[in-house]
Amino acid sequence: MRPLIYLASGSLLLAALLTSLKLGCEHWAAPRSSGIQGALAASPVDVLLIGSSHTRQSYDLRALESGAHVSAFAVAYNALDYRGMAVLVPALLERPERRPRILVIEGYGMSLVRTGGLQDSRLFFDAPPRLKLTLMAQYLDGAPSARKYFDLFDLAVNRDNELLLLHPVHSRLTERISYRGGYADKVVAGLRDFAGLRLDLPRGAADPRQVAALRELIAFTRRQGVRVICCESPMPGPVERQEVVRGLKDELTGLMQEEHVPYYDGAVDFPIEDPRYFADSNHLSTAGRALYTERVARFIRATQAGRETALNP
């Protein structure tokens, strides 16, 4: 009986040690051409973009840098909402010498109604230990449950272990397909038509926690001496005309007006009725990315010159 107890105790101790090493060190294996660690390695840059897959798929970073005459980096994780951005940005702006001149917050109404959570495990993998604890605490905030604790256990112990085991290969592959947080040489075909295209969104007003997080994100960034602007990439015409989408966009633009944040609505004067510029219901194709990037570069130039309202009232 005693040997079994020793074996079980030793196994638990080893598992705890390995988990601690994973949580404390896995961010060292994160890519340096995208995500948190990429942004920290590239800093300081003139323009830092933060958002979800909309941000990653909406910008050609090479063209943005060339067109706006700036250095830039995009930190983008799938389904990253304003609550997530509110804990991520302080980690990125912690050191004064690493702060950008402009932070571009993703404008996306869906982020106002998200219920929260860690939907992209790469965010947890890339985060340094202190940020990991903050993300875990935020996930448990409100109504801790057995399911949430199980999710965090799975995230800490099981998820993305292959990225550690295949680190040399994975890091080289990531470097080849990424450029400063955006895609490098990725071709995304446009749609043939908009038949049946719509975006499934829950009805109702914005989540107060998301609104509060967005306001705090803006206030915090300004306290660090960094200028804030908000850019929203266009979606297909049928989606832009959905009642719930229009309502959320109105809420977002109203918030930006109240906070005196320059806001660029990418759907204005964009060919939203042309399927070639869209990959699906809410992401741009390669052609759409090129056109949108060109216009955002112009907006950034105008913002730096104090003329942003003349481009997108």
At residue 176, the pLDDT reads 74
CA dist 246 and 303 (Å) reads: 25
Which residue type occupies 301?
A: R
At residue 313, the pLDDT reads 40
Find out whether 234 and 266 touch, Cβ atoms under 8 Å: yes
* Residue 75 β-bridge partners: 50
Tell me which architecture the domain covering 29-119+162-311 has in CATH.
3-Layer(aba) Sandwich (3.40)
Find out whether 49 and 76 touch, Cβ atoms under 8 Å: yes
Q: Residue 14: is it exposed, middle or buried by C-beta count within 10 angstroms (0-12/13-18/19+)?
A: exposed
At residue 46, the pLDDT reads 97
SS3 label, residue 76: strand
- Cα 273 off chain centre by: 26
At residue 265, the pLDDT reads 96
Indicate the pairing of strand 263-265 with strand 227-232. parallel
User: Across the 313 residues of the chain, what is the mean pLDDT of every consecutive 10-residue run?
Assistant: 62 57 74 90 96 95 96 95 96 94 95 81 89 86 76 73 62 76 90 91 82 97 97 97 93 96 95 97 96 97 71 45
At residue 310, the pLDDT reads 42
Give pTM, 2 decimals: 0.90
Q: So where are the chain's domains?
A: 29-119+162-311
